[in-house]
Structure 1
Amino acid sequence: MIGLAPRDVILAWRERRGNKSGNQSTASYHECPVLMPPGWASRFPAWSASRLWSVAGKKVRGLGSKISGLVVTSPHYLPLVRLAKQYVPTFYYCSDDYAQYAGWGSDVMLRLETEIVRQVAHSFFVSTALAERAVKDYGVPTDKVSVSPNATSDDFLKPVAEEDLRALLARHPQLRRPLVGVVGGINERLDFELLLKCSSLREIGSLVMVGPIAANLNNKAFDQLRQHPHCVFVGAQPHAELRAWMQALDVALIPYCESRFNQSCSPMRLFDHLAAGRPIVATAACAQVGEFANVVRVGRSSDEVLSYLVEECRRISDMVDIERRRILAKKNTWATRAENLKRVLHTGNH
């Protein structure tokens, strides 16, 4: 398998000066960076499609093989799909509601996505909400659409030694148990009013925020949260340490606020928290989280979320419940997703 990685030539030059290397090639996956002019997707769509297809063919021939199918991951690749479908089956993998991306243009994205799902042999969406939109609004037959949510990796299923968890928390001596944690990007998608109330609960020792803070985050409740004595921001952490952070928590919190984007998203943090096995409390802002209500306590209001947090902080960890979450996580790994995708792709190639 090869993965085309179009790179704006100016951004690539800046990354090279910063000694940043993003190549993810493995024995079975060959990443192929392709330098492109600024604005290539919108300014030069036909030329860009021809260049990407040419580079892909050359790379595959160099490996002694031929292209048997094409998967695209953005509506911007519609011209490439139109070109490639003359020769091989084409597929679309949608990982987000791109119409909600700032600067992408919602009407343009919806128009492009409508066309691309009608052109390809099959489309994969990370959530039921996005797949249902394709069927209802784009008029795509249900047998040409699949739901393939995000997932966790086998690494997150591995238990972290107790002494390693203690060493991790010792780096932040201000943390107190019970420890409630939010792990992932800290941005406008979170309900900071709720988090502020969470920090003030007497039953909580500390609220720890693990993850990078979005630039230019302008939110009064967020500013107050940063000053709260019971809330600790530890910043972005190495990916290898996220598993330990998740297992160090007493309660995991997924505090999404209400928005169209959150409602249709597929949060990777959900599956990683399931792998950690710790109790999970979440808002009802994400439909996919609600699909796991048998192992996640989903609050329909701020008061209900806070009530669930208090209950979970008072409870002694139940090993049966922990294992139940981990068993579910084992069914939702990237390896499992890959096998399911491969099955559909293979069908589309014949």
Structure 2
Amino acid sequence: MTADLVVFGEDWGSHPSSTQHLVGRLARDRRVLWVNSIGLRRPKLNAQDLRRIATKLRAMAGRGRAAAPAPAARRDAHADGPGPARVLAPFAIPWPGSTLAEAANRLLIGRQVRAAMAETGISRPILWASLPSAVSVVGALGERALVYYCGDDFGALTGVDHGPVLEMEARLAAKADLIVVVSEALAARFPGRNVLLLPHGVDGALFSTPVPRPLDLPPGPVAGFYGSISDWLDIPMLAAAARAMPDWSFVFIGPVRTDISTLETIPNVHFLGPRPHDVLPAYAQHWDVSLIPFLDNPQIRACNPLKLREYLASGTPIAATRFPALVPYEAHVACIDPGGDLAMAIREAASDPRAAERRASVSTEDWDARAAVLSAALAKL
């Protein structure tokens, strides 16, 4: 018998994470109750947090409705599966490190989740936690097993209250029947535990099927990046490359979450803003070189970025700084050490015609295959 899932993840319908990719497929043959993020840091009285609080309040006001994925998440994470039977935006207290807040959340969230489980017909589920804050409800839902899906190094992740979150993670990992990790670096953090290494997958059909060139992509040679424009990108290295290659356009797609003033003054640099996930193939296929311009830090050393396999599936040449998850694919990428000469790597990548080999390198790594491995591991619990 296939066990149902109660999943504590980020907000469903946001830009699809690996959890959404996998759960969207696991939901084909099991019921899934998805519980939106509880939060991994104390809120601050700034514009960004106030907007997030307002979004959360709107979601809470409409909680209990069936899942309706946003367009940004619809194509890849959910097109091949029904998605969750229900999405719950719980009323919770986002205060990591507070014993009182955790006790209150155990009561508040537990009551809301149990009610949603009853209405959805879910009993004795596998509890899936992608966020350490879910530790507050472990043992309160009648779950048959606990899975911790560890996709990030929460001790290095930006925007997290590191100390309290790591303490919650340690308690969660100690209780977990299975820990799923996306990289060797994350696996090493849980010695002696039941650990499954499950690297990220890719929707090869989505990224390799030819689509028209976007109208807002500048003409001429383009080096492009999509994803969160955050403090793990090497901004000085990017600025140096853009200045050294004035005949190229440098295009960035995604939300800006770091200081980009150095790049904004360079005339051949363009920030297009966020785009839905299902239109990203059009950009990746039609710019001339895809960029992964990471710094070297603990977060990057533990990461396994989704864009790496998506870029490869598109067939477009790639210029990247070296990081551990890149090692199996270095033969298909123009690589430099962190902080190196990105302009040189871009020129090297642009002259590499091996599009078919790049696509072939990830042809067996689709999300369906990853979900099948995970489903077999869940069946053993």
Moved more, 105-114 or 53-62: 53-62
Whole-angstrom CA distance in 1 between matches of 2:362 and 2:154: 27
Q: Secondary structure at the match of 1:331?
A: coil
1:126 aligned residue (182, 193, 196): 182
3-state SS of paired residue (2:188): helix
List aligned pairs for 1:191-340, cutoff 5 A: 191-202=234-245, 205-214=248-257, 217-218=258-259, 222-284=260-322, 286-313=323-350, 315=351, 318=353, 321-340=354-373
Does 1:176 find its partner at 2:232? no
* Distance in 1 separating the partners of 2:275 and 2:87: 28
Q: Say which of 12, 16, 23 aligns to 2:56.
A: 12
- Structure number with larger C-alpha Rg: 1
Deviation (angstroms), 1:304: 4.8
2:124 match: 67
Q: Which amino acid aligns with 1:228?
A: I
Of the three residues 198, 206, 229, the one matched with 1:186 is: 229
Distance between the aligned counterparts of 1:310 and 1:87, measured in 2? 54
Shift of 1:145: 0.7
Q: Match for 1:150 among 193, 196, 200?
A: 200
SS at match of 2:251: strand
- Comparing 328-337 with 119-128, greater Cα deviation is found at 328-337
CA contact (8 A) 1:91 1:123 kept: yes
Show the counterpart of 1:45: 102
SS in 1 for 2:200: coil
Tell me the secondary structure at the aligned position of residue 86 of structure 2.
strand
Deviation string, structure 1 residues 87-130 (Cα, Å, up to 9, x no partner): 51111011211122456432322222222212111101122111
* Counterparts of 1:160 and 1:87, CA distance in 2: 44
In 1: Cα distance, 2:58 partner to 2:140 partner: 31
Does structure 2 retain, via aligned residues, the 8 Å contact 1:92–1:123? yes
Q: Secondary structure at the match of 1:12?
A: helix
Partners in 2 of 1:102 and 1:186 — Cα distance?
A: 12
- Does structure 1 residue 344 correspond to structure 2 residue 381? no
What number of residue pairs does the alignment pair up?
322
Q: Is the 8 A contact 2:130 2:151 kept in 1?
A: yes
* TM-score of the superposed pair, with normalisation by structure 1: 0.81
- Asked whether the 8 Å contact 2:90–2:109 carries over to 1, the reply is no
Unaligned segments of structure 2, at least 5 residues:
1-31, 40-52, 70-77
SS in 2 for 1:44: helix
User: Which structure exhibits the higher relative contact order, with contacts defined as CA atoms closer than 8 Å and separated by 6 or more residues?
Assistant: 2
1 CA distance for matches of 2:366 and 2:190?
25
The answer (yes or no) to whether the contact 1:57–1:67 under 8 Å persists in 2 is no
Contact 1:3 1:31 in 2 (8 A): yes
One-letter identity of the residue aligned with 2:35: L
Q: Secondary structure at the match of 1:156?
A: helix
Secondary structure of the corresponding residue to residue 200 of structure 1: helix
Aligned partners of 2:132 and 2:202: how far apart in 1? 26
Query: What is the aligned-residue identity percentage?
Result: 21
Q: What are the superposed Cα offsets for residues 117-175 of structure 1, whole Å, 9 maximum, x if unpaired?
A: 1211110112211111222xxxx33xx012223332245334224xx21xx2x4355x3
Q: Mark the CA change 1:99 to 1:283 in structure 2 (over 3 Å): closer, same or farther.
A: same
Find the aligned partners of 1:32 and 1:13 in 2 and give their Cα distance: 14
Q: Using the alignment, how far apart are the partners of 1:211 and 1:189 within structure 2?
A: 14
Distance 1:158 1:342 in 2: 26
Distance 2:111 2:296 in 1: 43
**Distance in 2 (alpha carbons) for counterparts of 1:102 and 1:274:** 27
- Separation in 1, partners of 2:137, 2:61: 31
Distance 2:60 2:88 in 1: 13
Output the amino acid matched with 2:297: S
Residues 47 and 262 of structure 1, relative CA distance in 2, 3 Å threshold: same
Provide runs of 4+ in structure 1 moved above 6 Å: none
Cα drift, residue 306 of structure 1:
3.1
Contact kept? 1:117, 1:123, Cα under 8 Å: yes
- In the TM superposition, residue 40 of structure 1 has moved relative to its aligned partner by 6.3
Q: Which has the higher helix share?
A: 1
Q: Deviations over 1:272-320 (max 9, x none)?
A: 1111111111112x3212332122232125445432222222x2x52xx
Checking the alignment, whether the CA contact within 8 Å between 2:301 and 2:324 is kept in structure 1 is: yes
Residue 116 of structure 1 aligns with which residue?
172
With normalisation by structure 2, the TM-score equals 0.75
Write the mapping of 1:80-119 to structure 2, written as runs, cut at 5 A.
80-84=137-141, 87-102=143-158, 104-119=160-175
Give the RMSD, CA atoms, in angstroms. Answer: 2.9
CA distance in 1, matches of 2:345, 2:170: 41
